[in-house]
Chains A and B, each alone.
Chain A
Amino acid sequence: MIALILRELRLAAVGGAAAMPLIFFLLVATLFPFAVGPDGPLLARTGGGALWMAALLAALLPVDRLIEPDRASGMLDQLALRGIGEESIAIAKLAGHWLSFGPPLMIAAIPAAALMKLPPEVLMRLELGLLVGTPGLAALTVGVSALTAGLRRSGALAGLLMLPLAVPLLIFGAGLVERGNDTGALQLLAAVSLLLVAGAPFAAGAAIRASRD
């Protein structure tokens, strides 16, 4: 399992693939003030939600390179031949994907929050939400990636599949940033994230097996 996760991290590192979500996230954070205008209070009010949107789309970026190349190259077959379950592969993919984009995104959120003029306590809530919510985003990406593996031009379809499923994460994540945790948004965010992390490996495993027929 460790070897599989290390391989995921290596795949993310070569060719700068891991930097893409990060650059995308920072780019959105840079562009958003240009679009909304340099109105400090307005930016501070809407910035948290915009950063959650950016995080969601950043998580989706590697969706076509997570499962499909390994399916096409026979990697998944060879792992199955060695008795490694498809669910274990999905868990390794999930862990590798989250490690390659979750923590970097949390670091990038600091300069991004400065661009949005978010006050420090709001930044803390954003960081907390990202820490709890990004595993759920990674789980969604892996699940959708497995479902669309083997299809041509799967990128657009993957977006259509994943974005509606990410709505609860977005609502509770942005709600936590905006209103603090009086409403229990953090608990709900954690619950949704946990559900996705627990369910995605089984969905992805079944999808990988189904793609062999």
Chain B
Amino acid sequence: MNAGPLLRLEHVAARRGGRILFEDLSLALHAGEAALLTGPNGIGKSSLIRLVAGLLRPAAGVVEVGEAALADEHLALDERQPLVRALGFWARLDGGDPAPAMAAMGIAHLAPVPVRMLSTGQRKRAALARLIAQGAPLWLLDEPANGLDVEGQDRLAAAMAAHRANGGAILAATHQPLGLDDAIPVRLG
């Protein structure tokens, strides 16, 4: 892995519906680092995540990012498929294996269950398993702990720690404590 940052934002501004959400935001994330996005509702945390993911264009500034994985409120798994096959679709595209990721999130036993039968917390775990299995160096997390029970939150914290120990970086937007105590705080608004 090279020494350059996995994510670099320079004087970035975001506009939604003709309104500037935030501007002049600069941030660099290197291997092993994490940044915690906080701020009131509607300030543009999710927009920043989508901007880094390349799904929105910045109104101003520079976004430099390599390969990234995204877990937001959208599950992006085929509802009618058994969980293991729905995750397998992405694993084939990414060249990874969903089994360790499912085990890491504690949903290995749900493998044959159709995605549409999963509960809110189980869906969140499935989305995180998809993110882990992708194997991208940068994780983009939008409210990753929403709907997770205490055990799920512990598993999320462990997965994030393992990812950072392996040279990954994390950008997370949240209202809840995630166990990222040493993260770079980014407060919008």
Contact = CB atoms under 8 A, between A and B. Distances in A.
Q: Report whether chain A binds chain B.
A: yes
Interface of A: 3, 7, 11, 14-15, 72-75, 77-78, 80-82, 84, 212-213
Given A73-B74, A77-B55, A77-B74, A82 B79 contact: no
Contacts of B130: 78
Contacts of B90: 78
Given A3-B92, A3-B93, A74-B72, A11 B54 contact: no
B77 interface: yes
Interface string B56-90: 10000000000011101111111110000000011
B94 A77 contact: no
A93 to B, nearest CB: 15
Contacts of B75: 73-74
The DSSP consensus for interface residues of chain B is loop
B53 interface: yes
Nearest to B53: A81
Closest 10 CB pairs of A and B: A74-B74, A74-B76, A78-B76, A75-B76, A14-B80, A81-B70, A212-B55, A73-B76, A77-B55, A81-B53
Give the one of A7, A77, A84, A212 with max B CB within 10 A.
Answer: A77
Interface of B: 16, 50, 53-56, 68-70, 72-80, 89-90, 92-94, 130
Contacts of A14: 80
A209 to B, nearest CB: 9
A69 B16 CA distance: 23
Given A212-B55, A212-B56, A81 B69 contact: yes
A78 B70 contact: yes
